[in-house]
Amino acid sequence: MLKYEILINPKWLRKLDNDIWNDELVPAILKIGEDRISIKVAYRGNVIRDKKKKSYRIVFQKPFKVNGAHEIHLNAEFSDVSLSRNKLSLDFFDRIGVISPHSQHVLLYINGYNKGIYLEIESFDQYLLKKRKLPDGPIIYATNNRANFSLLTKKKEIKKRLDQGYTLKYGDQEDIHDLRNFIAMINALNNEDFAKEIPKVLDVEKYLRWVAGAVCVQNYDGFIHNYALYKNGETGLYEISPWDYDGTWGRNLHGRKLDYDYVPLTGYNTLSARLFHFPQFRNLYNEILTSILENDFTLDVQKPIIDGLFETLKPHISLDPYVNSTADTFEQEKKVYFNFIKKRNAYLKKELKSFFKVKSI
């Protein structure tokens, strides 16, 4: 496991600690092996900022890019005794054909103090597009639960702006204008026009793959939050990518167990609800999800992946001062994963049968 060490002036560290909700970046040095990289760093995340083990956003300064990336995130995975749910989820999306940030575990030190095992995650930005040789295009983050593709908030209040819940990561204000038009279209078009127009602005097949991935790993928040919209510069179509998937594989974001049938077959947001009104989109989703349940989200496929990741982490877990995990804890957590996969797979297959008995109005 790679060792990362952040060297930071105590005054800048105090600045971070004096206001944990401040997103302002401060200067530091990142050591990786013999390399010393000038960086700027800040805390990141929401719930995690109140925890003893915090997550970090790192932006490279000199050199400007490292391994093709200008920015990375170091996630604490504090509420995950296996430190694995996020990585397994992102890798799962990658496997099923959804653009997904790559990740790796690292051992982090700050000014010589051991901060434990972290998950380094790529930032979904223009540099990731270049690394993957994807067409350039705007990227917009869904940063809170108002990003539900609706005119209403989760509390059924009318939104003040159609782009509430979103933050522009890469692009310009014209791209926010296009996003508002996209959301207005989802909500305002009649059924006939919606069915004709939506494939002109949304890569429906890739969107439904994303829905299927979030449904399989059961990310309760993933349908209205924790995703990135990317508008492919060649096709002109919106695509979607997952983000922050620690509340998955049978547990919520706080690490508590969730029943295997907690999230429905279709997930939940306004865009999905409109798509599933039409037989052609339901049939496409059926094909996608059926294939994933047969070839990807199975115990035979996932067990060796989980076993391999856990074995990689086991020798290092005693080095994390914030995680009370042991080899026995890992073995017990494996059972949670395996039991969830079996039951969730069977549940989704059963639900698919009844899902296609429903006829459009």
Percent of the chain predicted with pLDDT > 90: 86
Cα 57 from Cα 43, distance rounded (Å): 6
What's the N-to-C CA distance of the chain in angstroms? 55
Q: What is the mean pLDDT of the chain?
A: 94
- pLDDT in the model for residue 302: 98
Q: How far is CA 178 from CA 168, 172, 238, 343, in A?
A: 12, 10, 11, 41
- pLDDT in the model for residue 47: 81
Both tokens assigned to 102: 């790559």
Q: Give the model confidence (pLDDT) of 47-65 as tens digits.
A: 888 888 999 999 999 999 9
Contact indicator for 247, 253 with CB cutoff of 8 Å: yes
Contact indicator for 153, 146 with CB cutoff of 8 Å: yes
Q: Among the residues of 218-278, which ranges form H helices?
A: 270-275
- pLDDT in the model for residue 49: 87
DSSP 70: S
For the whole prediction, is pTM greater than 0.75? yes
Instruction: Give helix 204-217 / helix 279-295 axis angle, nearest 10°.
Output: 50
Between β-strands 166-170 and 238-242, what pairing exists: parallel, antiparallel or unpaired? unpaired
Contact indicator for 220, 263 with CB cutoff of 8 Å: yes
Cα 340 from Cα 308, distance rounded (Å): 18
Q: Give the model confidence (pLDDT) of 313-324 as tens digits.
A: 999 999 999 988
Cα 262 from Cα 265, distance rounded (Å): 10
Cα 145 from Cα 154, distance rounded (Å): 7
